[in-house]
Amino acid sequence: MSAIQSTRKVANPKLTLYAFHLRNSLDQGSQATVENSDRLWETCQQIGQKLGIFRLESLIERLRKQWGSPIGLPLDNPDSQYLELLPQERLLHFSEIPNGSSPKLTGEVYPLQIHDTYFVDITLRYPYPNVEVSQLNDLNPQGCLLPHNIQASLGQTLMLFAQPLEEIDNPQSLAEVYLQAILPESEVEALLLSPPATGQLLGSPIFAYENNQDDPTQHNHILIWLNSHPQTEAREEKINYYQPLVNLLCSRSKILYAYAASGCCNAQAREIYSRIEQHIHNFTQIVQSPSRLQEFKRLLTELPEISLQYGQYLRDLEDHKNTIRTNLANYQIWLKKLETLPDCELRFLQEFSDLADKKFQQQIQVHQSFLTPGQLLFRELIDNIRGLVAIDQIESDRQFQQELQKREEQFQQALQQQEKQWQEQWREQDENSQKREQNLEMWIAAVGTGLAVSGVSSQVNPKPIEAILGKTAPNVAKPSYLSELSYTAGNIVIHIFLGLVIALIVRAVFKITS
């Protein structure tokens, strides 16, 4: 900081943080809070620990003791529209912040619920009337009030209110000096890339700077309000400008949040859209593939889920557009209330309203116009795939039935062939059995005949040997006892042999005649 700037002084400077954090989400109902809804109060606790501000450090405990969990009221309660979360104290005052060799700081913290949003006002000021410009840096010790430290989901605004103790030749140049005093140099460079928006509030000039970051937790929005009009400070204490300003900044933060979220939705949806085009490009190749049925079935398990995600992004885009429309209407209501205050010229606030109306909403409409046909492409692609799958499935089922019928016919033929073989075997076995029985019967008949002949012959000529010998050798001596036994045995053998010969002859006759 230059020597000229360091010798400048200001009276009664105060730096106020307006931080907005989402409490409820539309898709979770009026009772449920978002997952990190208490992060703003946890951040206050961390800042209080860092700066040694006990009342800021214990704020979350006071709020939970007052409300329990979740903190505040559900959205269907009309009191949630502008609810002081510490109804008895309203403001928590603190003083004597350790601050090195610089004068001690004082301040207050003011927590609110504005419908679906948590809001905290942290104001730091000096207890002394006059301080040097270089000491303004101590109102933002270690950059603790910057967006990346606060991490408010909907964004924040820092406003410096200070009275210059010198004649003002160029209010904008002086505002830049104050801006450089309260912020690190790296932050100032981004804020000064474009000229500030200017206006007048309660008679004194006000300048608005921002770094145009899309991420609300990185978007730096600074207001420098120069207390240069003799009535401004008195009006600031007596006139109710605070509530309209806070509500206007809340609507502004929601508009920027919704627009940034719409950009994320558009990016995600466009990525899916490119995948649709790739699937359409591959569609012709898959149609010609012999394994297209399996590939189409795989796509039918993936595409509906992707299509659902795509539809959700389109729905979210519509929700963000409606959020911008609703909050833009609220923004204009609060702007009109501010414009009715004395000595106010707030054209720069109207310029933001025009920006939200003409750019933000129209840009989302452009995104929707580009992305909506993709939903129809999804449906047509899925319908075409389903149609081809149905055709292929019918053909596949027909082929399966034909194959099944063919196999059934082959099985029946094989079964018939096997039955035929079995029947032939059974017939052959039956014939062989009959032959064996017939042969056995023939043998039995032949043997029976032989035995009968043998019996008859033994009756007709019981001693064939003696008869033969009597005829051939009549003078042979009478046989002895042993010879008699031999003759008897011989006679028997002759009769049996005769019966066997007859049996063989009969068997031969049966075989010839059969």
In angstroms, rounded to a whole number, what is the distance separating the alpha carbons of residues 147 and 151? 6
Residue whose C-alpha is closest to residue 479's, from 497, 489, 495: 489
Higher-pLDDT residue of 501 and 465 is 501
Q: How far is CA 213 from CA 23, 176, 190, in A?
A: 22, 20, 10
| Distance of alpha carbon 292 from alpha carbon 308, whole angstroms | 24
Model pTM above 0.85: no
- At 149, is the secondary structure helix, strand, or coil? helix
Cα distance between residue 323 and residue 316, in whole Å:
10
Provide the token pair at 293: 């049925």
Q: What is the mean pLDDT of residues 325-338?
A: 96
Tell me the domain boundaries of the chain. Answer: 3-239, 257-405, 433-513
What pLDDT score does 445 carry? Answer: 74
The span from the CA of 479 to the CA of 177, in Å, is 174
Read out DSSP for 440-498?
HHHHHHHHHHHHHHHHHHHHH-S-HHHHHHHHH-TTPPPP-HHHHHHHHHHHHHHHHHH
Q: How many CB atoms lie within 10 A of CB 139?
A: 25
What's residue 178's pLDDT? Answer: 95
When mean pLDDT is compared over 328-332, 440-444, 477-481, the highest value belongs to 328-332
Partnered with residue 222 across adjacent β-strands are 158, 209
Residue 217 pLDDT exceeds 60: yes
DSSP H or E stretch at residue 65: helix 59-67
For 5-57, how does the pLDDT look when each residue is reduced to its tens digit (9 = 90+)? 545 899 999 999 999 999 998 555 556 788 899 999 999 999 999 888 899 99
Tell me the pLDDT band of 219, cut-offs 50, 70 and 90: very high
Tell me what percent of the residues of the chain surpass a pLDDT of 70.
80
Using one digit for the tens of pLDDT, what is the confidence trace for 290-329?
666 677 677 677 777 787 888 899 999 999 999 999 999 9
In 3D space, the residue among 65, 222, 70 whose CA is nearest the CA of residue 143 turns out to be 222
Give me the DSSP letters along 379-408: HHHHHHHHHHHHHHHHHHHHHHHHHHHHHH
In the block, residue with structure tokens 């003696």: 466
Nearest to 111 by CA among 101, 122, 120: 120
